[in-house]
A = this chain, B = another copy of it.
């Protein structure tokens, strides 16, 4: 039986008694009230609230992808939730403009009271990074201090457990590996279809065309032409290495790649044949992961700039080296790099291997209009 429906007031529902009573200015406590400390507190609380929502959505997507078979229906739901995360991230980046209204001089009015509190102590942000797939070993350390100096024992335990479990990146990898279309004859196509093989041929054709294009580019001088042909040669080498599974494995070991060979080929196939109705949702799902990664990078870049502007080269309240450290993480803490990388592997539609008819039909679905 349903619990009897009671009525509720806005304030109580939102627990505003807690929310609006959580701004205690240290500068006031030390009898040197600094007007702008309020902004500093509130902006960080807003970030933490949004982090909570992002984690809530991300966890739900990870649950859906943690199932043995990912329901088609759930891919749609996952896309919606990742899209929400991306929209929140966009606001997180944009609202740095609000923080920047806190000028360096005003910040100095209360900065000393905050030591050694620091954004690096945000447990939720760390949790988010680990859940997405950033491993402790790939993390650039900003001081010699490990987790132990930053998080409570309970928090450390949670993070350790998260690292042991599958991250979003790993769940995606497993899902990509399970997708049947790579090995098309396994799906019952009479003609069979060796995707990787067919694709290799197409790439060879395309590179030939690019070479011709450069040779025909009479606008550019011989020196530049030479340079570009050399670069094309490098692309060629790059492709060769891509289609070489052993090479791929080696790159994973060296930390250059993360996704398995099989998962990478699946992601490539989805990108190439994304217009086929059944691949549409998987394609959009991968796109959303790239969006999230890109927005995380934007946030790191923007955050680094804001720190440079507010603190210059001063050390952060938490002891970090500030700007330089943050700047580096923008690139190095990227998580779905392999998916971005898929673009390198694409070739024009006109060169795409043609799918056998019975396969093409399998990738369509029935939505007959009268």
A121 to B52, CA, bound (A): 25
Do the beta carbons of B309 and A104 come within 8 Å of each other?
no
Q: Does A115 contact B (CB under 8 A)?
A: yes
Min distance, Cβ A333 to any Cβ of chain B, angstroms? 14
A301 at the interface (CB under 8 A from B): yes
Number of interface residues of A (CB under 8 A): 161
Q: Does A272 contact B (CB under 8 A)?
A: yes
Q: Is the CB of B8 within 8 A of A114?
A: yes
Are A221 and B149 in contact (CB-based, < 8 A)? yes
Known A48-B14, A219-B8, A219-B116: A144·B227 in contact at CB below 8 Å: yes
Report the minimum CB–CB distance from A340 to chain B (whole Å).
5
The stretch of A77-85, A156-164, A189-197 that contacts the partner chain: A77-85
Query: A10-B117, A224-B319 are contacts. A20–B95 as well, Cβ < 8 Å?
Result: no
- Which residues of the other chain, B, contact A309 by a CB distance below 8 angstroms? 290, 294, 340, 343
Chain B residues with CB under 8 Å of A370's CB are 178, 180, 186
A279 to B: closest C-beta gap in Å: 9
Q: Are B18 and A22 touching (Cβ within 8 A)? A: yes
| 8 Å CB contact of A117 from B8, B95, B123 | B8
Within the complex, the shortest CB–CB distance from A88 to chain B, in Å, comes to 6
Q: Given contacts A297-B305, A301-B301, are A84 and B101 in contact (CB under 8 A)?
A: yes
Chain B residue contacts of A290, Cβ below 8 A: 309
B19 x A45 contact (CB < 8 A): yes
A22, chain B: closest CB distance, angstroms: 4
A143 in complex: contacting residue of B16, B87, B217, B224, CB < 8 Å: B224
Asked if A365 contacts B368 (CB within 8 A), the reply is no
Give the shortest distance, in Å, between A64 (CB) and chain B (any CB).
11
Residues of B within 8 A of A103 (CB): 80
Closest chain B residue, CB of each to CB of A4: B216
What CA separation (Å) do A315 and B217 show in the bound complex? Answer: 15
Check: A135 CB closer than 8 A to any chain B CB: no
Query: 8 Å CB contacts to B: which residues of A105-157?
Result: 105, 108-109, 111-124, 143-145, 149
The CA-CA distance from A70 to B369 in the complex, in Å, is: 8
Whether A7 touches B216, Cβ cut-off 8 Å, given contacts A38-B53, A105-B271, is: yes
Per-residue CB proximity of A54-96 to B under 8 Å, as 1/0?
A: 0011001000000001101100110010011001101100110
- 5 A-B pairs closest in CB distance: A312-B344, A312-B343, A10-B121, A7-B217, A15-B22
